[in-house]
Structure 1
Amino acid sequence: MRFLTFLLWLAMVALIVFLATQPVSLTTHFVTAMIIIIIIAILKMFDRRGALRAVVLALGTSIVLRYVYWRTTSTIPPVDELANFIPGFILYLAEMYSVFMLFLSLFAIADPLNRPRRTLARDSVRPTVDVFIPSYNEDKELLAITVSAAKQMDYPEDRFNVYLLDDGGTDQRLESNDPQVAMAAAERRRELQQLCRDLGVNYLTRARNVNAKAGNLNNGLAHSTSEFVAVLDADHAPARDFLNETLGYFAVDPRLFLVQTPHFFINPDPLEHNLETWTRMPSENEMFYGVIQKGLDKWNGSFFCGSAAVLRREALEESGGFSGLSITEDAETALGLHARGWNSAYVDRPMIAGLQPETFANFIGQRSRWCQGMLQILLLNNPMLKRGLSIPQRLCYLSSILYWLFPFARLTFLFSPLFYLFFGLSIFDASGAEFAAYTTTYILVNILLQNYNWSRVRWPFISELYETIQSIYLGRALLAVLVNPTAPSFKVTTKGETTRFSRISELGGPFYVIFFILLAGIVAMVWRIVVTPSEAGVALVVGGWNLFNMLLIGGALGVVAERRQLRSSTRIAIERPAEIIYGDRVIPARIDDVSVNGARILVPANAMRSIRAGERIIMRFQPMAPLATNELPLTVRSVVRDEGGIALGSEFAVDDVRQYKMVADLVFANSDEWSRFQATRRKNIGVVRGVIEFIQLAIFQTVRGLSYLMRSAPTNKKAAQSDNAAAESNAPSAPPTFAGADPNAVVTGAGSTAALSGVPIGRSANHTPDR
């Protein structure tokens, strides 16, 4: 059936190509293209599945192919004009790469699959599961919460085992020639062994740090026996329903090797934090997990993403375990198993909550590993040459891999206008009328197609902004792989950072340089219009392109102008009854929101009139999981009184690691919280409003980014040194505030496990964030 569908699509594309290459006048093309654009805009208002979806994609594809034909046959400068031809042909290749990626992505998401839920019934047979939590250098407190959440999943205790796979306490590290490394590894092993004993889970390490995460997971396989393996990153805490909502799919398909679920994050990435878009705009990963993975799933091409997944042991053992040839062991493992005839499934329900990098430098480090690993797969394990894959699967993997070549195209688009503005080179041979008829309609169709496919998970030009902020550094990372495909090594991304001062990122310099170069391009455009009025049309068109690039770089300035992070964890809005034990009194209360560090508790107005910040209280509540105790000690950090009662901003005063089970129960037990918060951000604002939003954001962030530059360099340098010193000392780098605390009340003494968004997850997206 899939093969017949593929043939149908192939025939349709052949027909469209034939029609796109027929000679027509400029006016006919323009009128036809505008009619098609209007039709697509109208069809956007109807159901985006089935036949109508195929019609929209076919219409959009026809305009794109028409542009490709014109661009290829009419606009490339002559070869004998090398000064024009070389940059012109590079620009042409960048455009053709973008068009090719558009076609691959349209194929991949042609008919996204929404799988029905297959929740395990209470009386169904429960297969055995080993839960692997690989770790390298994460804090004990973060691991305690993740392990506690995993241990408390709603699943029979005798049917699953939790393993903390510690790669930071290996024999190799204990025997290091560096005494500090050896001492730290020994202390880590001792602490984590005790942690695992206290929480009732298994501690496992190995002799040597071979093959990074893949080797660590394979060591787990060698020391366990369950039918299925669940993989959770050290900062990915599961909800109670994770196993019950994933294992049911394996029962209906004996050849299913993987059930992957989304990576949901409870803190903003650097773009979301610094641009303050976290609560109102879909997160970056929602485009991949909300649409692309479902599209890949239709072609049996959804792949393992390293965490939040369950895998069948039989399949892993057949292929020799987790693959370690590249530093993206997850996608490589899935590729090998798909080639062996195994199937995968994607379930679009967030059931884990994880952390993203907080600083721009760590964000780039994470993305560098991703792009290098995917390029390694292309060079060392090319899906187009791998036997056993279907044609759709090859195209799906190719789409996911080749996407990471975007830095070359993005940098080309960024600097191409300057060849004309600075040097007068003609790298794009076209009249103003041809540009209006072909290029303008092509751009409009692209915007409409993106909005049609991604409207609820990606706003206009946000992808371009994300790609721009990565391209400066990822281009170098890709070149390193091309030079030596086996050179890159796995590096763990630092999470849970706080920053004491607002400052320009240590990686921000190139963006300011590029901004001023593009600004000089605007000056050059004005000069050309004044000096050569006959070229005013071309100068305005190229200058407009350069102005759009300035908006992108202006947005990037806002990203690298990093706002301070004083909060240490994300608040989650909940409604749970509780009791407060204050002295010899028991007072009824309600938990209003929680974080991994504290809670905001509401009590009656007259119940605790004498309470003051710094006092210690006990909170008692009914946990969702059966626990040995339901009492959790708190330290009051702020007291806010009003006519409705008293709000206590409190810090968890954990003095026994087993109390982290209660913290995990409060924060991570209910996956419905993640779905509700996700739904508040997944909204289609439309093309026109989306473009206006982007322009407003870019202008504001340009001004903000330049204002950071105007600050004295010694101040920024001092701030950076202070943050680095705090990080190296393993102390909180800033005094964090806690859930429910007065935004102006700064407290000390908290461990850092996550960066805090200003809005509690679960609240309305219209809630005003703390600033």
Structure 2
Amino acid sequence: MRRLKKSKKIIYLLAFLFSIVYLIWRAFFTLPWSESLFAIIFGILLLFSEVISNFTAVILIWSKNRAKQVFKPKVPFEAYPDVDVLIATHNEDVPLLLKTVNAACNMKYPDKSKVHIYISDDTNRREVKALADKFHIGYIGLEENEHAKSGNLNNALAHTSSPLVATFDADMIPYSDFLLETVPYFVENERERKEVEDVKPLGFVQTPQSFYNADLFQFNLFSEASIPNEQDFFSREINVLNNAHDAAIYTGSNTVISRKAIEDVGGFPTNTITEDFQLGAQINSAGYKSISTLEPMASGLTPTDIPSILKQRIRWGRGVVQSTEFTFNHK
């Protein structure tokens, strides 16, 4: 085992050195300085993308070397706290919402009276209120919302009070064991903090994004059985590796979050279109730790057409840029 670890370190070091040599060669000997301005600009952009790619690879290798597994702690049933389950919706159809609500109502918990489920509807629809009444759960309507999903969730937080908050998108169907697989981490963290002074409080537990339909590539290439879902790499590889730094990324759904952590950073941010990414980053920066688990605990729908994918990825890209700019401006 030691020999294997040493061999890996040597391989990683060689890969790093060869990458540096390659990038130096690319910068000084391959850029088309004698060609048109168009060629020069795109040559520089290509080099820049390679630098970013190699930098990302270094971070992944570094995280992989420091990777640590997280194991769900065993805690007594009476220690499970109250949880608010917020299902955020904007204009999704009631039949789609029904699947999520039905699954949420069937989640297991030692004391079901401690689980408070709400539909957070920022379009204040009567048919959604009727759905909430049918399942005997809470309904939090909102009119004239100016802050998209952040405004919707902040409004829901103002009408609830449990110490833990679980967030789900309208199309994300939670598994029955979702709360049993996530809440124990908070209970154990609270116990550890009482015994050890310098233990960081737990900000959130992120479970993987999982989808029950084929993604864009699987669907259009008729390869669902042979090609993995493209988002699995992030949810079940990259984000899990972030546990090495106690800094998982919040992806907006299938998550349990400490209410105090949300309040300490001023609620869901309204200055970005990727409020989930920025909220997670702010919670981590505020001294909390966060973890990402490996096994999916909810499944939803992923886009299968190019226009929807482009819209989604452009939003992600713009949102991350907005959040990064905000972070630098407020340091």
Report the TM-score, using the length of structure 1 for normalisation. 0.39
**Contact 1:161–1:201 (Cα < 8 Å) also in 2:** yes
Q: Which residue of structure 2 lines up, in the alignment, with residue 56 of structure 1?
A: 11
1:51 CA drift (Å): 4.3
**Contact 2:272–2:322 (Cα < 8 Å) also in 1:** yes
**Contact 1:110–1:295 (Cα < 8 Å) also in 2:** no
Pair 1:143-2:97 in alignment: yes
Paired residue secondary structure (2:79): coil
Q: Which AA in structure 2 matches 1:232?
A: F
Q: Which residue of structure 2 lines up, in the alignment, with residue 307 of structure 1?
A: 253
Q: Which AA in structure 1 matches 2:36?
A: A
Query: Which of 89, 92, 105 matches 2:47?
Result: 92
1:239 CA drift (Å): 0.9
Pair 1:129-2:83 in alignment: yes
Query: Which of 252, 258, 262 matches 1:316?
Result: 262
Q: Which residue of structure 2 lines up, in the alignment, with residue 358 of structure 1?
A: 304
Q: Which residue of structure 2 lines up, in the alignment, with residue 107 of structure 1?
A: 62
Gap change, CA 1:249 and 1:75, over 3 Å in 2: same
Query: Which of 262, 265, 269 matches 2:208?
Result: 262
Q: How does 1:341-352 map to 2 (within 5 A)?
A: 341-352=287-298
Deviations 1:58-109 (A, max 9, x none): 22112111212333344445x5x35388254444334333333333333344
**Contact 2:80–2:187 (Cα < 8 Å) also in 1:** no
1:231 CA drift (Å): 0.2
Deviations 1:680-710 (A, max 9, x none): xxxxxxxxxxxxxxxxxxxxxxxxxxxxxxx
Deviations 1:272-310 (A, max 9, x none): 101012122211011101210111111122111100000
Paired residue secondary structure (1:68): helix
In 1, Cα distance between the equivalents of 2:6 and 2:78?
39
In 2, Cα distance between the equivalents of 1:224 and 1:49?
52
Deviations 1:573-625 (A, max 9, x none): xxxxxxxxxxxxxxxxxxxxxxxxxxxxxxxxxxxxxxxxxxxxxxxxxxxxx
**Contact 2:73–2:188 (Cα < 8 Å) also in 1:** no
**Contact 2:206–2:255 (Cα < 8 Å) also in 1:** yes
In 2, Cα distance between the equivalents of 1:48 and 1:322?
47
1:362 CA drift (Å): 1.3
1:332 CA drift (Å): 0.4
- Any gaps of 5 or more consecutive residues in structure 2? 191-200
Q: How does 1:397-408 map to 2 (within 5 A)?
A: none
Q: Which residue of structure 2 lines up, in the alignment, with residue 735 of structure 1?
A: none
Query: Which of 241, 249, 253 matches 1:295?
Result: 241
Deviations 1:150-209 (A, max 9, x none): 01111122111000001122xxxxxxxxxxxxxxxxxxx222222111111111112321
In 2, Cα distance between the equivalents of 1:139 and 1:119?
39
Paired residue secondary structure (1:265): coil
Paired residue secondary structure (1:247): helix
Query: Which of 102, 112, 135 matches 1:157?
Result: 112
**Contact 1:118–1:245 (Cα < 8 Å) also in 2:** no
Gap change, CA 1:124 and 1:83, over 3 Å in 2: same
1:116 CA drift (Å): 1.3
Q: Which residue of structure 2 lines up, in the alignment, with residue 83 of structure 1?
A: 36
Count matched residues: 318
Deviations 1:315-371 (A, max 9, x none): 111222111211000110011111111110111111101111132221221112111
In 1, Cα distance between the equivalents of 2:47 and 2:128?
55
**Contact 1:263–1:289 (Cα < 8 Å) also in 2:** yes
Pair 1:251-2:206 in alignment: no
**Contact 2:123–2:143 (Cα < 8 Å) also in 1:** no
Ranked by relative contact order (alpha carbons within 8 Å, sequence separation 6 or more), the top structure is 2
In 1, Cα distance between the equivalents of 2:264 and 2:46?
46
Paired residue secondary structure (1:381): helix
- Any gaps of 5 or more consecutive residues in structure 1? 1-45, 170-188, 388-771
In 1, Cα distance between the equivalents of 2:8 and 2:130?
56
- CA RMSD, Structure 1 to Structure 2 (Å): 2.3
In 2, Cα distance between the equivalents of 1:49 and 1:251?
37
Report the TM-score, using the length of structure 2 for normalisation. 0.89
1:251 CA drift (Å): 2.0
Q: Which residue of structure 1 lines up, in the alignment, with residue 325 of structure 2?
A: 379
Gap change, CA 1:352 and 1:49, over 3 Å in 2: farther
Deviations 1:512-561 (A, max 9, x none): xxxxxxxxxxxxxxxxxxxxxxxxxxxxxxxxxxxxxxxxxxxxxxxxxx
1:119 CA drift (Å): 5.0
Gap change, CA 1:125 and 1:67, over 3 Å in 2: same
1:386 CA drift (Å): 6.0
Pair 1:206-2:154 in alignment: no
Paired residue secondary structure (1:145): helix
**Contact 1:119–1:245 (Cα < 8 Å) also in 2:** no
Q: Which AA in structure 1 matches 2:177?
A: D
Q: Which AA in structure 1 matches 2:212?
A: I
Paired residue secondary structure (2:307): helix
Q: Which AA in structure 2 matches 1:58?
A: L
Q: Which residue of structure 2 lines up, in the alignment, with residue 223 of structure 1?
A: 159
In 2, Cα distance between the equivalents of 1:56 and 1:67?
16
Gap change, CA 1:162 and 1:361, over 3 Å in 2: same
Pair 1:328-2:264 in alignment: no
What is the percent sequence identity of the aligned residues?
Answer: 32
In 2, Cα distance between the equivalents of 1:221 and 1:285?
29
